[in-house]
Amino acid sequence: MDSTTAAPATRAWQDDGSSRVPFSVYTSADLHRRELERFFYRGHWNYVGLSAEIPAPGDFKRTLIGERSVLLVRDQDGGINVVENVCAHRGVSFCRERFGNKRNFRCPYHQWNYDLKGNLIGLPFRRGVRQDGKTNGGMPADFTLEEHGLTKLAVAVRHGVVFASFDPAVESLEAFLGPAVLGYFDRVFDGRELKVLGYSKQRIPGNWKLMQENIKDPYHPGLLHSWFVTFGLWRADQRSEMVTDAHGRHACMISRRNEGGASEVTQGVASFKEKMTLHDDRILDVVPEDWWGGPSVVMMTLFPGLIIQQQVNSLSTRHIQPDGPDHFNFVWTHFGFADDTPEMERRRLRQANLFGPAGLVSADDGEVIELSQVGFRQKPDAATYAELDGRGTGGADHMVTETLIRSMYAYWRRVMEV
């Protein structure tokens, strides 16, 4: 072996903790496959959409769980089904439209037909073709329609939000979220009818877990995001709370806005712009809503693939769709409530300028994630250092902490067995 070999060894976990994540955890193709199997395809509920996206029988939406294409469809009975978008015959990813309305699904290749629950209901030449007094071809005598349906996923709908799982043995959605996180989920989704305002989609060249971390990281918003610190939407001198479920996989970052301006937490903070004023401040025309119950912001991370945003009057689900260890697609669905006044809907849309791929706040989250991934690739023998507020896990009653990231990686290590 040439002792001058320059390539550094890949670093493994150096201790039993979760504060120093090896960079290879973000780049390894083997770990990525195991993550898909253990988090996206087994034992977890994954977000697929809002029932308001498919209001009528026959309405469907094509989306992803992990890297697998699935269809969310409302059947003639009004029920919501989730089926895998792979024909049982020859594997064709048969549904190409992202939204639409159908009476049934037909594969274009050999016209196998499925109903809206994913059952195979018919196919050409099943009993062969008669020619010259004999029957040519046909399926074997032991062929049954029942054995050749689409893969049907477990489905849980709670207050208009639809989750699915490839794992039929997955626990209930309520148990999966746990009581503390469920309470914050129901704060936003209390059964009111939702109204979809539209979508934003971005492709971020970074590992998918970095987006979970970003929304489990209350340390960065008051530093990276000038708008948050300057206008008091998120900063370290606010009353805040960090909540996790019993496993440490899900989290809520909860805070209350203040008046902004200069204080102890803005000293030496380069992004604080004391003289910043807006030419048109309608973008920050915040009107508190009764259902907030105090906090002006609750950012929820549901592991592995969903973020639920309530930041003042702006609401969105953000769906993480991994694509290999080095990329993910990030799909934002902004919504309001069916009974919003026109003024409130306009306000939600205006405040959406802060978020999304061009957001005055969120655009730079994607940028820093991309640059973390560059560093991970460059230095595979290194590890992160997430020890703000110690090495422990669990919740906190302030935001000067990285405990939620450590909690997630403690859970990740248990499930991944590394």
CB of 219 to other proteins, least distance (A): 15
Among 121, 157, 180, 196, binds other proteins (CB under 8 A): 196
CB of 411 to other proteins, least distance (A): 28
163's CB contacts (< 8 A; 6+ apart) are 45, 46, 47, 48, 155, 156, 157, 173
Among 13, 41, 199, 292, binds other proteins (CB under 8 A): 199
Site size with other proteins, rule: CB under 8 A? 42
Among 130, 201, 239, 414, binds other proteins (CB under 8 A): 201
Question: Mask 118-157, x = binds other proteins (CB under 8 A)?
Answer: ----------------------------------------
CB of 9 to other proteins, least distance (A): 27
Among 226, 313, 317, 393, binds other proteins (CB under 8 A): 226
Q: Residue 79 CB: number of other CB atoms within 10 A? A: 13
Among 368, 382, 388, 400, binds other proteins (CB under 8 A): 368
Among 99, 125, 291, 385, binds other proteins (CB under 8 A): 99
Query: Rounded to an integer, what distance in angstroms lies between the CA atom of residue 366 and that of residue 250?
Result: 21
SS (H, E, C) the chain: CCCCCCCCCCCCCCCCCCCCCEHHHHCCHHHHHHHHHHHHCCCCCEEEEEHHHCCCCCEEEEEEECCEEEEEEECCCCCEEEEECCCCCCCCCCCCCCEEECCCEECCCCCCEECCCCCEEECCCCCCEEECCEEECCCCCCCCCHHHCCCECEEEEECCEEEEECCCCCCCHHHHHCHHHHHHHHHHCCCCCEEEEEEEEEEECCCCHHHHHHCCCCCCHHHHCHHHHHCCCCCCCCCEEEEECCCCCCEEEEECCCCCCCCHHHCCCCCCCCCCCCCCHHHHCCCCCHHHCCCCEEEEEECCCEEEEEECCEEEEEEEEECCCCCEEEEEEEEEECCCCHHHHHHHHHHHHHCCCCCCCCHHHHHHHHHHHHHHHHCCCCECCCCCCCCCCCCECCCCCCHHHHHHHHHHHHHHCC
Among 143, 371, 390, 414, binds other proteins (CB under 8 A): 371
Q: Of the ranges 55-63, 100-108, 127-135, 366-374, which one interacts with other proteins (CB under 8 A)?
A: 366-374
Among 280, 290, 397, 417, binds other proteins (CB under 8 A): 280
Among 67, 167, 186, 364, binds other proteins (CB under 8 A): 364
**67 makes contact with other proteins (CB under 8 A):** no
**97 makes contact with other proteins (CB under 8 A):** no
CB of 67 to other proteins, least distance (A): 15
CB of 226 to other proteins, least distance (A): 4
**103 makes contact with other proteins (CB under 8 A):** no
**372 makes contact with other proteins (CB under 8 A):** no
Q: Of the ranges 18-26, 109-117, 269-277, 377-385, which one interacts with other proteins (CB under 8 A)?
A: 269-277
Query: Rounded to an integer, what distance in angstroms lies between the CA atom of residue 83 and that of residue 172?
Result: 19
Q: Of the ranges 80-88, 117-125, 155-163, 220-228, which one interacts with other proteins (CB under 8 A)?
A: 220-228
CB of 6 to other proteins, least distance (A): 21
**307 makes contact with other proteins (CB under 8 A):** no
Whichever of 225 and 318 has its CB closer to other proteins, that residue is 225
Cα-Cα-Cα-Cα dihedral sign, residues 266, 269, 272, 273: positive
**360 makes contact with other proteins (CB under 8 A):** yes
CB of 100 to other proteins, least distance (A): 11
Among 40, 94, 112, 227, binds other proteins (CB under 8 A): 227
Residue 101 CB-half CA count within 13 A? 8
Question: Mask 331-350, x = binds other proteins (CB under 8 A)?
Answer: ---x----------x---xx
Question: Using CB atoms within 10 A of its CB, is residue 139 exposed (0-12), middle (13-18) or buried (19+)?
Answer: middle
Contact residues: other proteins, CB under 8 A: 98-99, 196-205, 224-227, 271, 273, 276, 278-280, 282-283, 329, 334, 345, 349-350, 352-353, 356-358, 360, 363-364, 366-368, 370-371
